[in-house]
Structure 1
Amino acid sequence: MDAIKGNMFAILNGYKQFVIPVYQRIYSWEREQCQRLWQDIVAMQKENKAGHFVGSIVNIAEQAMPTGVQKFMIIDGQQRMTTLTLLLIALRDYADAHHQDDQTINAPMITSLCLKNDFQSGYDRYKMLLTEADRDALIDLIEKKPITNKKPSRIIENYNFFVEKVTSGVLKPAAIYESIGKLQIVNITLDRQVDDPQAIFESLNSTGMDLSESDLIRNYILMGLDNDEQIYVYENIWRPTELLFDYERRSALMDRFFRDYLTMKLGHIPKINHVYEEFKQYHLNSRFNSVGDLCQDIYTFSKYYTDMCFCRSSEPALKACYSEIQALRSEVVYPFLLRVHKDWEKGSITLDELIEIIKMCINYVLRRAVCNIPTNSLNKTFATLKNFINPSDYLNSIKAAFVLMESYKEFPTDEKFVSILTTRDVYNMRIRNYILSKLENFQNKASITIENYTIEHIMPQNPNLSREWISDLGHDWQKVQRTYLHTLGNLTLTAYNAEMGDYSFTEKLNMEGGFKQSALRINSYVVLQDTWNAEKIQERAKELGTKALRIWPYPSITEEKMAPYKKNQNAKPEYTLNSYEHLNQFTRMLFEKLDLRIMNLSPDVHKEFKKMYVAYKLDTNFVDIVIHKERLCLSVNMPFEDVIDPKGICRDVSELGRWANGDVEVFFDSLGQLDDVMAIVDQAYHIQAD
């Protein structure tokens, strides 16, 4: 390994080419990073500084040739090198355009020294050779070709940014050129025979390099291949995979995909910042014959994933399902539906069955949202739902799994769903537009676009109601308004919200654009009324609730089909607090005090009574309580070495057998210990919550 301090001009000088290998991410610096670099340059000149350190470049020298261009593969530093190249191009173009007025900058010298290798042909002509996604854009700028590519490109965007800065006059062109020379860079060249590029790359990332989890996965997969296979896998599998994802949000979406992909494969949810590490372990333990086979599997599931994300399908019914997932923002269903899509492709289920399963998932998420059931358990529910699939009875096994869900996982029944839907504040729900749109468009061949309408309160929101409204609502009109204002029965859609205002019900019915002129189905009950009050609101809510049961139905399965699944469930015993043999008046008192404190940590905490202990969970158990005769034993789920324990009340049980989960043991035998014990529990809770 050789490390040499220099500047951009020294690094680029000579017959050299810096190549971005295919496993590197595309150029990703945004305006913010370019602005920061520009501010550093301006500050350095204004304050007359001798220099400014901008970081290091790490590369691997390819075998030297007696003639021609010496090539270096960059494994770190492409973002700043590419950005400085864009600034040099902008400066050169300015000098070319203004050479008669300002001859302080030599445009041909910039081209020859920093951009091109004179007398070389093909790609060897260029000092920087980017990956396929960015290569042509940079070459076009170097060659001063017209920019005709309509695709979004940060290469073009950031070049335009620097053109704007160079022409702004904040610094003279000669000062900009001088400042680029003052930017200090450490150029580190690795020896392929001695140094381990993958280990060095991971070390660089661990010290703060801004790579996403999907960037790390791509580098891990491709960096380990020989050059020919690397290029083949990248061009034929990996690059097509990347192109499935939206350009502007590619990195974030691919991070989400890999987390959901691993969740589907492993049956548990990797922590957000541990996806790369989990992927490496998955790869090492997987049964793929080659890296190419693994990448092909990733491509297959990426196709399902992006179809759902971007609502892409040649099947109208499937596309409509994807649109509903997006409207509900129920991406939590993705890991399970990835598996189901694969089974559909294999022919294990039909298209109609696939659509029915997707709708079941949508109905489950919607009903729980309406019933205001905490969402924290949904990730785990869908991560493990595949475990209930019976390949020989595919659809019924999923229906049974949903029907048999209990407690915090329940699929709300028709009675519960309608009761809450018709009485709760729907107006202030995030999904109100989705609910009203579905109620309007159900079995409607001429469906409406919800964005063309606004939500109208039939009984107005204004607390100072007119005499007509007070008369319609009765003597307790204030209570009626307070109780029913935002409920489903009082909400509708209109294109004339501003015109209707606080007018009386009769005026809203008959005015131009009023309810009687509305073709919307959601107003069919309203137009038949001559007054509006609590009774009418309740009647309309009941009518809409009946329709909602048809739109978001409960899983339909006969008792005969349910029987084998019920039998399996009934075989599992149910436990309560009274199930524990050592529970007595004292330990019950300790438990109730501690239980109250733990449950008050968050509404997302849920409790399960197991055979030997009581479990408290977010994604998984963060603390378990075993009830002894004279005390409670807490098993706290976090590494012992991470515990902050000033009172020394914890014990490392990582190497000991125990009933509950967790490496940290704490005993609780008096109320005076409650705060100290909760301080430990709180640490384990925040590891999952944060």
Structure 2
Amino acid sequence: MSEVKDIFKPDNKTINQIFRDSDAFYHMPIYQRPYSWDKERVEQLWFDIVEAFKNNQEDSTLDSNYFLGSIVVVKNAKGFEVVDGQQRLTTLTILFCTLRDMGLDIAPKYKALIDACIKDAIEDKERLVLTTHLNNQANFEETVLNGVNLSASKKELENNRFLQNALFFKDVIHQSLKTDSEYFINDINAFVEYFFNNVTLIRIVCFDEGFAIKLFSVLNDRGLDLTPADIIKAYLLQHLDETKRESFIEVWKRIENTASLSGESVQSIFNLYLYFLKAENPRKSLQDELKEQFKGKNAQQIILDVEKYAKVVLEINSNTKDKDISLLRYVNHSIYWKTILASAIHTNYNDFDGLKLLLRKYYYQSWIAGGTLNRIKQTSFNIIRKVKNNEPLENIKSVVKENLDKYQFYTDFLKNENIYWMNWHKPLLLAVEYFQQDDREYIPITRDLHTEHILPKEWNREDLNWKDSFTIEDSSKYLNSLGNLTLLSGVKNIQASNRNFSGKREVYNGKGIDGKTSFEITKAILEDNTEWTIEKIQDRSNWMEGKIKTLFAI
């Protein structure tokens, strides 16, 4: 019988082992995409690890190991070629360099550990080499590996994701060292010890590149047969005798149907329900958290309450005429505002309309001011608790203001010259649009909904007359600013894209096309202006800012 050849070998390894084993040298093949992790991913990684560390400090049975995922590599003469895991390995290396260069009070043995994870002292070579693009390795070495410029200028940060993320790490590390932070680290050395020796990755070493790529596809395209919802279903069923299981299954089927009608999965319904029950950040998996919540309770009563909650979620998701809910739909991390509103209906909160209005203002102020998940998370849980206790809206408003007061005020961001590139710019235009008429229904953000530059992107074409009113410096300042942006449908946007203002007015008015634009903020441009100048952009900016302040002031 022929011997079975090993084609891959998975090992669960700590961060220490991943980066300090004798063969721990990683390089990227040329087919890898450029490094792309952003602020949100960096913050999520940091705060998740900090949260696991704090859980473990409080209770040694919790998060004794924190699993960071898997990487797929191919063994070769250089060390390992990374097929899957480039983003995580690069981000971890950026974190090492930031910890090294921040001047923190880290013990010598841990400083040596950090240094060894960045560069091997014996072989005098980097642990991680990026070979995906010619300029990547130079940027990575000069601005991160060889020393992080922690006071880099705006210009130095441009187009350098490595350095940007190093500074994001610097900010969250500083935040975690403040005693009033919910993510306060009281012992940086204990944290470093936990990070390197309790945080783990599964390194899957393949001995054939073709198989490694195939394995990468399998790991990313296929999931487990059992979902957390399936596990919860089985857990509740085992606590019922056979006479009651049939009625339980019928209720479960109704929940599945309700979830489908509301555009949710059964698992997302249970996620919302867990947030409602717990009103704090879950520490364990969905199924483990729910098992804990359901322990010792009547399974039939539980499933009927989940069904009631699912119907509330359907009520929220199918409401296309409520402007507050319409605007909240555009906000990232919908699990928070949706849990709050569903919990309010579920518990008959006595000022639902006031709560809904406050949430619209809070989440948009946070979003516009650059807020990410970690900025809103704890405040959202605090609101859920107060809603469950039916506390007065003023108490909730105080919690919201306390959170907002910690950060730069959102109106400062409205004067940004590059609002077009902010992910909230289109929802903000829609917010103003909704309140220009009484019966405006929900407007989904689809490929057919376009942001129109009134002064067009190609304003300086020879066949256009914009050069009579604008210079290159003017266009740089005003092209992507709030006052120069409006909304159009896809067809009209294409028609209007690069015209003189008189031609744009014809398109907005529907001349020879498909009728006048339906967007009131665009009609106002048509009706109020016969020319488009710097002064007109400034006037419209002031008008838009005034409307926005009215909509979101608390």
Q: TM-score, normalised by structure 2?
A: 0.52
Match of 2:478 in 1: 484
- Residue 214 (1) aligns with residue 229 (2): yes
Q: 1:327 aligns with which of 315, 326, 330?
A: 330
In the TM superposition, what is the alpha-carbon distance from 1:228 to its structure 2 partner? Answer: 0.6
1:422–1:542 CA contact under 8 A, matched in 2:
no
* 1:9 counterpart residue number: none
Q: What's the counterpart of residue 468 of structure 1?
A: 465
Aligned-partner Cα distance in 2 for 1:470–1:525: 20
- Aligned twin of 2:551: 551
Contact 1:371–1:421 (8 Å) recurs in 2: no
Structure 2 residue 445 is the aligned partner of structure 1 residue 432: no
Aligned pair partner of 1:397 in 381, 395, 398: 395
Aligned match of 1:339:
343
User: Is residue 501 from structure 1 mapped to residue 501 from structure 2 by the alignment?
Assistant: no
User: In the TM superposition, what is the alpha-carbon distance from 1:214 to its structure 2 partner?
Assistant: 0.7
| 1:526, distance to aligned residue in structure 2 (A) | 5.3
Identical amino acids, percent of aligned pairs: 19
CA spacing shift, 1:248–1:391, aligned 2, 3 Å: closer
Q: Pick closer, same or farther for the CA change 1:387–1:227 going to 2, 3 Å.
A: closer
Q: What residue identity is the alignment partner of 1:230?
A: R
Distance change (3 Å), C-alpha of 1:536 and 1:517: same
Name the counterpart of 1:372.
370
Describe the superposition over 1:631-686 as per-residue Cα deviations: whole angstroms up to 9, x where unpaired. Answer: xxxxxxxxxxxxxxxxxxxxxxxxxxxxxxxxxxxxxxxxxxxxxxxxxxxxxxxx
Relative to structure 1, the CA distance from residue 301 to residue 456 in structure 2 (aligned partners, 3 Å threshold; closer, same or farther) is same
Q: 1:454 to 1:222 in 2, by over 3 A?
A: same
Distance 1:424 1:333, change over 3 A: farther
Work out the CA distance in 2 between the residues paired with 1:331 and 1:402: 17
Q: Which amino acid aligns with 2:431?
A: K
| Matching residue of 1:311 | 318
**1:249 CA displacement:** 7.2
Shift, 1:543, TM fit: 0.2
| 1:561-589 residue CA offsets vs partner (Å, 9 max, x unmatched) | xxxxxxxxxxxxxxxxxxxxxxxxxxxxx
2:496 is matched by which residue type in structure 1? M
Amino acid aligned to 2:245: Q
Where does residue 247 of structure 2 map in the other structure? 232
> Which of 452, 455, 465 does residue 456 from structure 1 map onto?
452
1:485 Cα deviation after fit: 1.3
Structure 1 pair 533/331, CA: closer, same or farther in 2 (3 Å)?
farther
Secondary structure of the structure 2 residue equivalent to 1:245: helix
* Letter aligned with residue 283 of structure 1: F
For the pair 1:241 / 2:235, whether they are aligned, the reply is: no
**Aligned residue pairs: how many?**
321
RMSD, aligned CA: 3.2
> Structure 1 264/336 Cα, relative in aligned 2: closer, same or farther at 3 Å?
same
Query: 2:293 — aligned with what?
Result: 282
Determine helix, strand or coil for the equivalent of 1:268. Answer: coil
Task: Look up the match of 2:124.
Answer: none
1:383 aligns with 2:381: yes
Distance 2:300 2:388 in 1: 31
Q: Which residue of 2 aligns with 1:300?
A: 308
Alignment of 1:499-578 (within 5 A): 499-510=495-506, 513=509, 520-523=519-522, 524-525=524-525, 527-552=527-552, 554-555=553-554
Shift of 1:377: 2.9
Write the letter of the residue equivalent to 1:417. Y
Shift of residue 381, structure 1, vs aligned partner: 2.2
**CA deviations over 1:16-75 (Å, ceiling 9, x no partner):** xxxxxxxxxxxxxxxxxxxxxxxxxxxxxxxxxxxxxxxxxxxxxxxxxxxxxxxxxxxx
Instruction: Give the counterpart letter for 2:343 in structure 1.
Output: R
1:357–1:395 CA contact under 8 A, matched in 2:
yes
Q: Cα–Cα, structure 1 residues 385 and 504, in superposed 2: closer, same or farther, change >3 Å? A: same
Structure 2 CA distance for aligned equivalents of residues 283 and 541 of structure 1: 53
> Which whole-Å CA distance do the structure 2 matches of 1:258 and 1:429 have between them?
32
**Residues 453 and 240 of structure 1: is their aligned pair in 2 closer, same or farther, counting only changes over 3 Å?**
closer
For residue 274 of structure 2, what is the aligned residue in structure 1? 262
Q: Is the 8 A contact 2:255 2:307 kept in 1?
A: yes
Cα 1:465–1:338 shift into 2, 3 Å: same
Secondary structure of the corresponding residue to residue 259 of structure 2: coil
Shift in alpha-carbon separation, 1:540–1:395, aligned structure 2, 3 A: same
State the SS of the aligned residue for 1:400: helix
| Alignment correspondent of 1:442 | 435
| 8 Å contact from structure 1 (residues 268, 380) kept in 2 | yes
Question: For 2:419, what is the secondary structure of its paired residue?
Answer: coil
> How many Å separate the matches in 1 of 2:457 and 2:503?
16
Note if 1:419 corresponds to 2:408. no
Query: What residue is the counterpart of 2:238 in the other structure?
Result: 223
Structure number with greater CO (CA < 8 Å, separation at least 6) is 2
Aligned-pair CA distance for 1:213: 0.6
Contact kept? 1:341, 1:354, Cα under 8 Å: yes
**Separation in structure 1 between the aligned mates of residue 394 and residue 247 of structure 2, nearest angstrom:** 43
Matches within 5 A, 1:136-215: 210-215=225-230
For 2:487, the aligned partner's letter is L
Q: Tell me if structure 2 keeps the 8 A contact 1:259–1:270.
A: no
> Which ranges in structure 1 are unaligned for 5 or more consecutive residues?
1-207, 556-690
Distance, in Å, in 1 between the alignment partners of 2:484 and 2:346 is 44
1:542 Cα deviation after fit: 0.9
Three-state SS of the structure 2 residue aligned to 1:302 is helix
Q: Give the residue type in structure 1 aligned to 2:429.
A: L
Q: Which amino acid aligns with 2:467?
A: I
The 8 Å contact of residues 450 and 488 in structure 2, kept in 1 or not, is answered as yes
CA shift in 2, pair 1:282/1:424, >3 Å: farther
Structure 1 Cα separation of the partners of residues 318 and 386 of structure 2? 27
Deviation at 1:520, TM superposition (A): 4.1
Structure 1 equivalent of residue 81 of structure 2: none
Give, as a single letter, the amino acid of the residue that structure 2 aligns with 1:488: L
User: Aligned-pair distance for 1:301?
Assistant: 1.7
Aligned residue number for residue 34 of structure 2: none
For the 8 Å contact 1:455–1:492, the answer to whether it is kept is yes
Q: What are the Cα deviations for residues 531-577 of structure 1, in whole angstroms up to 9, with x where unaligned?
A: 3233321210110111112223x23xxxxxxxxxxxxxxxxxxxxxx
Q: Distance in 2 between matches of 1:247 and 1:392?
A: 29
